[in-house]
Amino acid sequence: MAHGLEADPVTVTVFLLLFVGVAGAGLFAARWRRGDLSQLTEWGLGGRRFGTLITWFLLGGDLYTAYTFIAVPALMFGAGATGFFAIPYGMLAYPLLFIGFSRLWSVAQRHGYVTAADFVRGRFGSRSLALAVALTGIAATIPYIALQLFGLQVVIAALGIQTLPGLSAIPNLPLLIAFLFLAFYTYSSGLRGSALIAIAKDLLVYTTVIAAIIVIPIELGGYGKIFASIDPKLLLLPHSTPTNLGGGFAYSSLALGSILALFLYPHATTGMLSAGSRDVVERNSIILPIYSFALALIALLGFMAVAAGVKAMPGFAPGFAHFGNNFAVPALFLSMFPNWFAGIAFAAIGVGALVPAAIMSIACGNLFTRNIYRDFIDPNCTPEREARAAKIAAFVVKLGALFFVLALKSSYAIELQLLGGIWICQTVPAVLVALFTRAMHPMALLIGWACGIAAGTAMAWSLELKSSVYVLHIFGVAVPCYAALSALALNLTVGIVLSLVFNALSSGSKPDETVAADYV
């Protein structure tokens, strides 16, 4: 069995062969389904030609990340049943994809939109509102990329690669090398590179998950013993009372807010808009829940880690304390899998960091070049300059994420990612609601967005960025609610009220370059 935090030759060799091999394949993806990568739609959206299967792998690789692989079991490991909120929201987000975001695909295809902010500008004729949506997307995504690098950092620590001769002299050298792989293949191959290696990533992940749910319970004496080892209090959510709606309401609000946010994240929008047809998007809304089933199995790894007693293992020693519960899954794999298979499992997590990090940075590049560079800096830029600006922006965004991990430490990225979820939910009125109605006024939407951002940030800040559940006190009842939803309620209220006022005062026609037929 693999054990300890010193490098095991077999584990490290298997990991490096798979990681470098898969990452290297991304470098050659520019030749796959060849297109002119000097055009933004080719580099940033893969030419909008991906079929059902490729889109399934791409969206799965995009939404189910290395940090998901580590963080969801870590939450189960530390907090119990609360961590399972990711399962229902993952399942229930897909009907929203079918009903709502397939409309975004249609209108984007008709008008050549590359980002959600493009749609907002076209729908409302407002560059300012589009800029707000674009900046929100970029701000919410940078710490998300940092968390993928953090997941990679956890794997590197578990492998003990840094202890190998010649590597200990330069701190974080393995992470820097992995970052260069990520930056180079993203720049050279664009979304095609991510789509290609997403296939390999999923094969590795499913191999690992299937092995884990069979082998580890056998080693631990069965699922009965695993659940028996868990504190009964962690198996249930806190009950509500007449004066406190309790953990159940918080759980539900986290799930609902996450449902609304999931496909508003720029990387999810980018993956969805790369589909070759609306039918591809709708078919994927039906088959993508398979990933949620896999996520439910991954979440159980947190309970398996408790049963295996991983807190007594080296990964939880003071020198690795900053990883906290995030080390639960790597420690479990080290203790339960043979050396060679631990290498496969860690490669699954490592490649699982590359795919979403690449798509996230590409999405930020798309937002910057379309809704900041082209709208405000160089309106007459050529398609080649537009694509080049996106590639440079994507690299800068990745560099910022690396700065979070290395200079500011990963805890800042984790805390700011809580804000990211709160912020991205404030684009619901301007994007998701606008897919069905043009009734709201763009200035009202902008003011509502500002109020939602301010309120959500204030709530998270009052919790010292350690939680996203803020307790509201309404008529003497404590309501623990996901801050994103509370802020969104304020956002919508302000937007609706001011829209009534502004629309009543406005006598001109509402600018809208879309028509009803564009959405079907």
Q: How far apart, in whole angstroms, are the C-alpha atoms of residue 315 and residue 344? A: 19
- Contacts of residue 302, defined as CB under 8 A and 6 or more positions apart, other chains included, come to 72, 73, 74, 75, 76, 77, 78, 83, 328, 329
- pLDDT tier for residue 4 given thresholds of 50, 70 and 90: very low
pTM (predicted TM-score): 0.92
DSSP 8-class letter at 337: S
Of 85 and 205, which is predicted with more confidence?
A: 205
pLDDT the model gives residue 2: 44
Rg of the chain over Cα atoms, rounded to whole angstroms, equals 23
pLDDT the model gives residue 480: 92
What are the boundaries of each domain within the chain? 9-417
pLDDT at 72 over 80: yes
pLDDT at 215 over 90: yes
- pLDDT tier for residue 322 given thresholds of 50, 70 and 90: low
- pLDDT tier for residue 1 given thresholds of 50, 70 and 90: very low
Q: How far apart, in whole angstroms, are the C-alpha atoms of residue 344 and residue 291? A: 19
DSSP 8-class letter at 241: B
pLDDT at 173 over 70: yes
**Is 14:343 a contact under the CB 8 Å cutoff?**
yes
pLDDT in tens, 6-16: 778 899 999 99
pLDDT the model gives residue 467: 85
- pLDDT tier for residue 5 given thresholds of 50, 70 and 90: low
pLDDT the model gives residue 412: 62
How would CATH label the architecture of 9-417?
Up-down Bundle (1.20)
Main-chain dihedrals φ then ψ at residue 364, nearest 5 degrees: -65, -40
**Is 129:446 a contact under the CB 8 Å cutoff?**
yes
pLDDT at 257 over 50: yes
pLDDT the model gives residue 175: 83
Let me know how many helices (H) and strands (E) the chain has, helices first.
21, 2
Q: Using alpha carbons only, what angle is made at residue 394 by residues 119 and 284, rounded to the nearest 5 degrees?
A: 55
- pLDDT tier for residue 312 given thresholds of 50, 70 and 90: low
**C-beta neighbour count of 461 within 10 angstroms:** 11
pLDDT in tens, 377-435: 999 999 999 999 999 999 999 998 888 888 766 656 667 777 889 999 999 999 999 99
